[in-house]
Amino acid sequence: MTLTLATWNINSVRLREDLVQKLLREEGPDVLCLQECKSPVDKIPTEGFAALGYSHMVARGQKGYNGVAILSRLPLEDAGHRDFVGKGDARHVAARLEDGTVIHNVYIPAGGDVADRTVNDKFGHKLDFLTEMRDWFMAERPTRSILVGDLNIAPREDDVWSHKQLLKVVSHTPIEVAHLDDAQQAGGWVDVTRADIPDGQLYSWWSYRAKDWSAADKGRRLDHIWATPDLASGAGDSRVLRDARGWDRPSDHAPVFASFDL
DNA sequence: ATGGTTGACGATCAA
């Protein structure tokens, strides 16, 4: 079968229930991974999603911040979660499809404003989160697995609107990129999006603060789809649904898609 | 160098 999958930082699943439904109706991925749900699990508006055929969900949530959910029209089994850096944050959840494929949904900390852990604890938290990911994947050696989410890092020069102007800006600093590369290599993860779309500028996030986000186009590719090589070899159809950034009362992130032969 | 916007929650804090 072919699995179609999308990942989207929704920035409040309750406020944007209608946009999630619009995406499910118009694009119809088999699986949709959401980050920044900003909701306890029992307050996620699942009824409308189920009515559209998405009757399966695994999620972790907390009041006000963070929160990750995997919506699916295919049966899912809860495959657990990891409490990165021991803070009790709802930043990871995993699900298993009936064929054994594992999907990890991750929301890496944004990291605050200053790219220096000696003066900014949030930046230290982000680096520690990435180090724990590296060590976990080194031990785990995942196979038949997909990892998606808002990784809050744009690793390549063509993942940002200006490599030079963002070198000291959190999300594109060399130390963050090195930590992300280490975590990716430790798990043997393939960047499916860039394997599919190797050339050219590609973004999935545009700040709310720009007065005309599309014309200015000062974007960053913060949202990623990775897979282990056994699944990456059958991956395709990668794209960013840029239109969604222009929907009414949008998230500041656009959904990223890929498909997999399972 | 600064400010610009959004969401949850109810004070600001996080992004």
User: What is the DSSP annotation of A75-87?
Assistant: -EEE-----GGGS
| A79 contacts: CB under 8 Å, gap ≥ 6 | A58, A94, A95, A96, A102, A103
Output the known binding site of A.
9, 36, 150, 152, 252-253
Q: What is the pLDDT of residue A245?
A: 98
* Strand B bases with any atom < 7 A from protein Cβ: 4-9, 14-15
The secondary structure element, H or E, covering residue A52 is none
User: How do residues A165-203 score in pLDDT, each as one tens digit?
Assistant: 999 999 999 999 999 999 999 999 999 999 999 999 999
Q: What is the pLDDT of residue A108?
A: 98
User: How do residues A40-87 score in pLDDT, each as one tens digit?
Assistant: 999 999 999 999 999 999 999 999 999 999 999 999 999 999 999 999
CA distance linking residue A195 with residue A210, whole number of Å = 30
Q: What is the pLDDT of residue A154?
A: 98
Catalytic site includes residue A104: no
Output the known binding site of A for Mg(2+).
9, 36, 150, 152, 252-253
User: How do residues A119-176 score in pLDDT, each as one tens digit?
Assistant: 999 999 999 999 999 999 999 999 999 999 999 999 999 999 999 999 999 999 999 9
| A67 contacts: CB under 8 Å, gap ≥ 6 | A13, A34, A35, A36, A37, A38, A39, A59, A60, A61, A90, A107
CA distance linking residue A198 with residue A194, whole number of Å = 5
The pLDDT of A201-218, averaged and rounded, is 96
CA distance linking residue A33 with residue A13, whole number of Å = 11
User: How do residues A3-42 score in pLDDT, each as one tens digit?
Assistant: 999 999 999 999 999 999 999 999 999 999 999 999 999 9
Q: What is the pLDDT of residue A65?
A: 96
Percent of chain A, pLDDT > 70? 100
**Of A125, A172, A224, A253, catalytic:** A253
Q: CA of A207 and C1' of B5: distance in angstroms?
A: 8
**Of A54, A56, A92, A107, catalytic:** A107
Q: CA of A234 and C1' of B13: distance in angstroms?
A: 43
Residue nearest B9 (alpha carbon to C1'): A64
Q: What are the structural domains, with CATH classification, of chain A?
A: 2-261 (3.60.10.10)
pTM for the model stands at 0.98
The secondary structure element, H or E, covering residue A171 is none
Q: CA of A98 and C1' of B10: distance in angstroms?
A: 44
**What band does A261 get if pLDDT is binned at 50, 70 and 90?**
very high
List, chain by chain, residues whose CB lies under 7 Å from nucleic acid strand B: A 11-12, 14-15, 36, 38, 63-66, 109-110, 112, 122, 152, 208-209, 249
Catalytic site includes residue A56: no
